[in-house]
Amino acid sequence: MSKLIIHGAHNTRTSRVIWMALELGLDFEHNNFHYSTGGTQTPEFLAINPNGTLPAIQDGDLCLFESLAINLYLANKHGGDMGPRDDAEMGLATQWSFWAATEVESTALEALKNRLLLPEAERDEAVVAAAEARLAKPLTVLNAALADKEYLMGGRFTVADLNTSAVAGWAKIAKLDLSAWPNLTAWLDRCLGRPLYKKARGG
Ligand SMILES: N[C@@H](CCC(=O)N[C@@H](CS)C(=O)NCC(=O)O)C(=O)O
Protein backbone atom coordinates (compact mmCIF):
# COMPACT_ATOMS: atom_id res chain seq x y z
CA MET A 1 0.00 0.00 0.00
CA SER A 2 1.36 3.45 -0.87
CA LYS A 3 2.33 5.82 1.91
CA LEU A 4 0.26 8.86 2.76
CA ILE A 5 1.87 11.97 1.23
CA ILE A 6 1.39 15.36 2.91
CA HIS A 7 2.24 18.36 0.77
CA GLY A 8 3.21 21.69 2.30
CA ALA A 9 5.57 23.51 4.62
CA HIS A 10 5.37 23.50 8.41
CA ASN A 11 4.72 27.25 8.47
CA THR A 12 1.45 26.95 6.52
CA ARG A 13 -1.90 25.36 7.37
CA THR A 14 -0.13 22.08 6.52
CA SER A 15 1.03 22.03 10.14
CA ARG A 16 -2.57 21.14 11.10
CA VAL A 17 -2.44 18.00 8.96
CA ILE A 18 1.07 17.07 10.09
CA TRP A 19 -0.11 17.50 13.69
CA MET A 20 -2.99 15.09 13.05
CA ALA A 21 -0.79 12.53 11.28
CA LEU A 22 1.70 12.66 14.17
CA GLU A 23 -1.04 12.30 16.82
CA LEU A 24 -2.36 9.29 14.89
CA GLY A 25 1.12 7.79 14.68
CA LEU A 26 0.93 7.54 10.88
CA ASP A 27 3.86 6.71 8.68
CA PHE A 28 3.82 9.44 6.04
CA GLU A 29 5.95 11.13 3.44
CA HIS A 30 6.29 14.89 3.82
CA ASN A 31 6.71 16.92 0.64
CA ASN A 32 7.95 19.97 2.51
CA PHE A 33 7.70 23.11 0.37
CA HIS A 34 6.26 26.59 0.72
CA TYR A 35 3.85 28.16 -1.76
CA SER A 36 6.26 31.09 -2.18
CA THR A 37 8.50 28.77 -4.23
CA GLY A 38 5.79 28.65 -6.92
CA GLY A 39 5.49 24.91 -6.36
CA THR A 40 1.71 25.06 -5.88
CA GLN A 41 1.18 26.40 -9.42
CA THR A 42 2.82 23.57 -11.38
CA PRO A 43 0.61 21.28 -13.48
CA GLU A 44 1.69 18.35 -11.28
CA PHE A 45 0.58 20.04 -8.07
CA LEU A 46 -2.59 21.51 -9.58
CA ALA A 47 -3.60 17.96 -10.54
CA ILE A 48 -3.49 17.15 -6.81
CA ASN A 49 -5.03 20.40 -5.57
CA PRO A 50 -6.61 22.56 -8.31
CA ASN A 51 -6.83 25.46 -5.83
CA GLY A 52 -3.05 25.72 -5.85
CA THR A 53 -2.93 26.00 -2.06
CA LEU A 54 -1.39 24.12 0.85
CA PRO A 55 -1.99 21.67 2.35
CA ALA A 56 -3.00 18.78 0.15
CA ILE A 57 -2.66 15.04 0.66
CA GLN A 58 -2.47 11.95 -1.50
CA ASP A 59 -3.68 8.75 0.11
CA GLY A 60 -3.41 6.06 -2.54
CA ASP A 61 -5.54 7.32 -5.44
CA LEU A 62 -7.37 9.84 -3.28
CA CYS A 63 -6.32 13.50 -3.41
CA LEU A 64 -7.75 15.86 -0.79
CA PHE A 65 -7.48 19.57 -0.03
CA GLU A 66 -8.87 21.67 2.89
CA SER A 67 -6.83 21.18 6.05
CA LEU A 68 -9.74 20.59 8.44
CA ALA A 69 -11.52 18.19 6.05
CA ILE A 70 -8.28 16.25 5.59
CA ASN A 71 -8.05 15.91 9.37
CA LEU A 72 -11.63 14.69 9.70
CA TYR A 73 -10.89 12.12 6.98
CA LEU A 74 -7.69 10.91 8.65
CA ALA A 75 -9.29 10.74 12.11
CA ASN A 76 -12.30 8.85 10.75
CA LYS A 77 -10.12 6.45 8.76
CA HIS A 78 -7.54 5.69 11.43
CA GLY A 79 -9.79 6.00 14.49
CA GLY A 80 -8.18 5.47 17.87
CA ASP A 81 -8.74 8.13 20.50
CA MET A 82 -8.45 10.95 17.96
CA GLY A 83 -11.36 9.82 15.82
CA PRO A 84 -15.13 9.95 16.30
CA ARG A 85 -16.44 6.86 18.11
CA ASP A 86 -20.03 7.16 16.90
CA ASP A 87 -22.36 9.30 14.75
CA ALA A 88 -22.82 11.85 17.54
CA GLU A 89 -19.06 12.37 17.83
CA MET A 90 -18.78 12.59 14.04
CA GLY A 91 -21.47 15.30 14.15
CA LEU A 92 -19.70 17.21 16.90
CA ALA A 93 -16.28 16.99 15.25
CA THR A 94 -17.76 18.22 11.96
CA GLN A 95 -19.68 20.98 13.73
CA TRP A 96 -16.61 22.36 15.53
CA SER A 97 -14.44 22.12 12.41
CA PHE A 98 -16.94 23.98 10.21
CA TRP A 99 -17.55 26.45 13.02
CA ALA A 100 -13.85 27.19 13.36
CA ALA A 101 -13.51 27.64 9.60
CA THR A 102 -16.55 29.90 9.21
CA GLU A 103 -16.86 31.78 12.51
CA VAL A 104 -13.25 32.25 13.59
CA GLU A 105 -10.61 31.66 10.94
CA SER A 106 -10.78 34.70 8.64
CA THR A 107 -11.13 37.16 11.53
CA ALA A 108 -8.30 35.56 13.50
CA LEU A 109 -6.14 35.66 10.36
CA GLU A 110 -6.81 39.38 9.93
CA ALA A 111 -5.59 39.92 13.48
CA LEU A 112 -2.56 37.71 12.97
CA LYS A 113 -1.57 39.43 9.73
CA ASN A 114 -1.82 42.89 11.24
CA ARG A 115 0.03 41.90 14.42
CA LEU A 116 2.78 39.72 12.99
CA LEU A 117 2.71 38.54 9.42
CA LEU A 118 2.59 41.70 7.31
CA PRO A 119 5.68 43.88 6.91
CA GLU A 120 5.69 46.29 9.85
CA ALA A 121 4.85 49.32 7.73
CA GLU A 122 1.65 47.65 6.48
CA ARG A 123 0.33 46.52 9.88
CA ASP A 124 -2.72 48.30 11.26
CA GLU A 125 -3.60 48.03 14.96
CA ALA A 126 -7.11 49.34 14.22
CA VAL A 127 -7.74 46.21 12.14
CA VAL A 128 -6.49 44.07 15.03
CA ALA A 129 -8.84 45.85 17.45
CA ALA A 130 -11.82 45.40 15.12
CA ALA A 131 -10.99 41.71 14.65
CA GLU A 132 -10.65 41.26 18.40
CA ALA A 133 -14.10 42.80 18.89
CA ARG A 134 -15.66 40.56 16.21
CA LEU A 135 -14.11 37.45 17.79
CA ALA A 136 -15.77 38.09 21.14
CA LYS A 137 -19.00 36.37 20.12
CA PRO A 138 -17.55 33.07 18.82
CA LEU A 139 -14.93 32.94 21.59
CA THR A 140 -17.70 33.33 24.18
CA VAL A 141 -19.48 30.37 22.56
CA LEU A 142 -16.33 28.23 22.70
CA ASN A 143 -15.60 29.30 26.28
CA ALA A 144 -19.12 28.24 27.33
CA ALA A 145 -18.81 24.90 25.55
CA LEU A 146 -15.72 24.22 27.65
CA ALA A 147 -17.27 25.27 30.98
CA ASP A 148 -17.54 21.79 32.43
CA LYS A 149 -15.06 19.84 30.36
CA GLU A 150 -11.41 19.61 29.45
CA TYR A 151 -12.04 18.74 25.80
CA LEU A 152 -14.81 19.37 23.28
CA MET A 153 -16.16 15.83 23.22
CA GLY A 154 -15.74 12.42 24.77
CA GLY A 155 -13.47 13.49 27.66
CA ARG A 156 -10.35 13.14 25.52
CA PHE A 157 -8.27 15.09 22.97
CA THR A 158 -9.79 14.44 19.54
CA VAL A 159 -9.92 15.80 16.00
CA ALA A 160 -12.55 18.28 17.25
CA ASP A 161 -9.99 19.83 19.62
CA LEU A 162 -7.13 19.62 17.15
CA ASN A 163 -9.00 21.36 14.33
CA THR A 164 -10.63 23.97 16.54
CA SER A 165 -7.53 24.81 18.56
CA ALA A 166 -5.36 25.00 15.43
CA VAL A 167 -7.67 27.77 14.18
CA ALA A 168 -8.49 29.51 17.48
CA GLY A 169 -4.79 29.34 18.35
CA TRP A 170 -4.18 32.10 15.83
CA ALA A 171 -5.86 34.49 18.28
CA LYS A 172 -3.30 33.45 20.89
CA ILE A 173 -0.37 33.72 18.47
CA ALA A 174 -1.65 37.21 17.55
CA LYS A 175 -1.49 38.01 21.29
CA LEU A 176 -5.12 39.06 21.49
CA ASP A 177 -6.43 39.62 24.99
CA LEU A 178 -8.21 36.33 25.80
CA SER A 179 -8.45 36.90 29.55
CA ALA A 180 -12.25 37.15 29.43
CA TRP A 181 -12.42 33.46 28.45
CA PRO A 182 -10.57 31.36 31.07
CA ASN A 183 -11.98 27.97 29.97
CA LEU A 184 -10.91 28.72 26.44
CA THR A 185 -7.39 29.81 27.39
CA ALA A 186 -6.86 26.76 29.64
CA TRP A 187 -8.07 24.48 26.83
CA LEU A 188 -5.86 26.24 24.25
CA ASP A 189 -2.88 25.74 26.56
CA ARG A 190 -3.80 22.05 26.94
CA CYS A 191 -4.11 21.50 23.18
CA LEU A 192 -1.28 23.70 21.93
CA GLY A 193 0.98 22.52 24.76
CA ARG A 194 1.07 19.04 23.26
CA PRO A 195 4.60 18.16 22.11
CA LEU A 196 3.40 17.04 18.68
CA TYR A 197 1.86 20.48 17.99
CA LYS A 198 5.31 22.01 18.33
CA LYS A 199 6.86 19.29 16.17
CA ALA A 200 4.19 19.79 13.49
CA ARG A 201 5.05 23.48 13.32
CA GLY A 202 8.66 22.62 12.57
CA GLY A 203 10.20 22.38 16.02
N1 LIG B 1 -9.08 26.66 3.52
C2 LIG B 1 -7.81 26.16 3.06
C3 LIG B 1 -6.85 27.31 2.92
C4 LIG B 1 -5.60 26.93 2.15
C5 LIG B 1 -4.65 28.11 2.01
O6 LIG B 1 -5.08 29.24 1.72
N7 LIG B 1 -3.37 27.84 2.23
C8 LIG B 1 -2.36 28.87 2.12
C9 LIG B 1 -1.17 28.53 3.00
S10 LIG B 1 -1.57 28.51 4.72
C11 LIG B 1 -1.84 28.95 0.71
O12 LIG B 1 -1.52 27.94 0.12
N13 LIG B 1 -1.72 30.18 0.19
C14 LIG B 1 -1.12 30.40 -1.09
C15 LIG B 1 -2.08 30.99 -2.07
O16 LIG B 1 -3.22 31.29 -1.69
O17 LIG B 1 -1.67 31.14 -3.23
C18 LIG B 1 -7.28 25.08 4.04
O19 LIG B 1 -7.62 25.17 5.23
O20 LIG B 1 -6.59 24.17 3.62
3-state secondary structure the chain: CCCEEEECCCCCCHHHHHHHHHHHCCCEEEECCCHHHCHHHCHHHHHHCCCCCCCEEEECCEEEECHHHHHHHHHHHHCHHHCCCCHHHHHHHHHHHHHHHHHHHHHHHHHHHHHHHCCHHHCCHHHHHHHHHHHHHHHHHHHHHCCCCCCCCCCCCCHHHHHHHHHHHHHHHCCCCCCCCHHHHHHHHHHHCCHHHHHHCCC
Q: Is any atom of ligand 1 closer than 6 Å to the C-beta of 13? A: yes
CA–CA dist 185, 137 (Å, integer): 15
Q: What is the pLDDT of residue 203?
A: 85
Give the ligand 1 atom nearest the CA of 13.
Answer: 10
pLDDT (tens digit, 0 to 9) for every residue of the chain, 203 residues total? 789 999 999 999 999 999 999 999 999 999 999 999 999 999 999 999 999 999 999 999 999 999 999 999 999 999 899 999 999 999 999 999 999 999 999 999 999 999 999 999 999 999 999 999 999 999 999 999 999 999 999 999 999 999 999 999 999 999 999 999 999 999 999 999 999 999 999 98
How much is the pTM?
A: 0.98
Residue 67 Cβ < 6 Å to ligand 1 = yes
The alpha carbon of 46 and the centre of ligand 1 are apart by a number of angstroms equal to: 13
Q: Set out the domains of the chain in order of their start, with CATH numbers.
A: 4-78 (3.40.30.10), 84-200 (1.20.1050.10)
The amino acid at 200: A
d(CA 46, CA 33): 14
Q: What is the pLDDT of residue 2?
A: 86
Expressed in angstroms and rounded, the spacing between residue 167 Cα and the centre of ligand 1 is 13
N-to-C CA span, the chain: 29
pLDDT score of 63: 98
Rounded CA-CA distance 98/79 in Å is 20
pLDDT for position 79 = 84
CA 180 to ligand 1 center in whole angstroms: 30
Sheet strand arrangement including 56-59: 28-31, 4-7, 56-59, 62-65
Per-residue model confidence (pLDDT) at position 165? 98
